[in-house]
Amino acid sequence: MKYRRVALPALGVLLFTLAGFAQTAALEGSVKAEDGTPVTGGMVVIERRDSRGHYQVRTDRKGHYFYGGLPMGVYRVSVEVDGKERDHVDDVRTGPGGPKEVSFDLHAAAADRPAPPVVLHLPEYAEMLGRVQQGDMTVDFRAFRVAGALKSGPQASKLETEERAAFRNLAASGDWAGALNSAKRALDRNYASPIGHYDAMAACQALGRTDEAAAHEKILNALLDSIRQSGDGQSPETAYFVVTVQEEYIFLNRVLHVRATSQTWVRKDGHFYDRLLVPNLGTNQIHYLWFNANRFCE
């Protein structure tokens, strides 16, 4: 009996420990200097954005780094050489499974970045907003998305992530009126947000406000269609063009009906890409989808 009294608490400790490990994630990658050689002793700084947390690790002689035991969340990952930040990537989401790769090529970072693949002389956001709210579906919805992101500033992705979390908490509690108000506040900030219209549509459906739900769904579909028309996602050259991280996930869910199993940030020829590993529903095989992430990595 004494043996059993010792063993059972020990088993409980073991299970608690394993459960703790299940909630952690890891980051790894490499850092290349401008001449293509590995950066030895570079400082990789990992800062949590959705909570408090600051971590750092140095690259080894091969320019590689690894940091395990991270809480799952959203991070900003940067690299410092000789005490100066040389490059960074925002909105890195960790999750269960293998380490997420975030690598840096300082030659690409130093190069002049080409102009983003959008027309720069866009109509003002307010002018397009008025047309959309009046039911004008001839608006250039890609330009509308870009204008909305520019209006929101460099924290557009972060703001959408926070707004999405607030909406989901209210919806989960059954407070659909509060959830609808939350979605409307998000749309007041940026009416060109697909996730904002998706959330407003869901809340209106739950409240039985079918006409309002249909109106949000109509705009949502137009916004998502502008992403679909931007490429096919099969390569960096034909990547889908998005302006926030949340656009990627609503596009995967609503249009492609797939869920990414992993994510890797890639920098190539001066452009940022989000490369997602997704299942092919037709063949059940895994393949990559590419999203041009210039807009929210600048």
Query: Are 133 and 57 in the same domain?
Result: no
Which residue in the block uniquely carries the two structure tokens 């971590």? 55
- Whether residue 10 has pLDDT greater than 70: no
The reply to whether 59 and 178 lie within a common domain is: no
For residue 194, pLDDT over 80 is answered with yes
The pLDDT of residue 120 is 39
State whether the Cα torsion 232-235-238-241 is positive or negative.
positive
Residue 208 falls inside a structural domain: yes
Domain boundary among 64, 86, 111: 111
Assess if residue 19 is contained within a domain.
Answer: no
- Same domain membership, residue 140 and residue 224: yes
Provide the domain count of the chain: 2
Q: Is 54 exposed, middle or buried (0-12, 13-18, 19+ CB in 10 A)?
A: exposed
Residues 95 and 204 in one domain: no
Q: Are residues 134 and 103 in the same domain?
A: no
Is residue 172 located within the same domain as residue 147? yes
Per-residue pLDDT at 255 exceeds 80: yes
List the single range of 62-66, 110-114, 213-217 with lowest mean pLDDT: 110-114
pLDDT tens for 114-138 read 444 444 344 589 999 999 999 999 9
- Give the model's pLDDT for residue 179: 94
The reply to whether 143 and 51 lie within a common domain is no
Q: Which domain holds residue 64?
A: 25-111
pTM reported for the whole predicted model: 0.62
Instruction: Indicate whether 97 pLDDT > 80.
Output: no
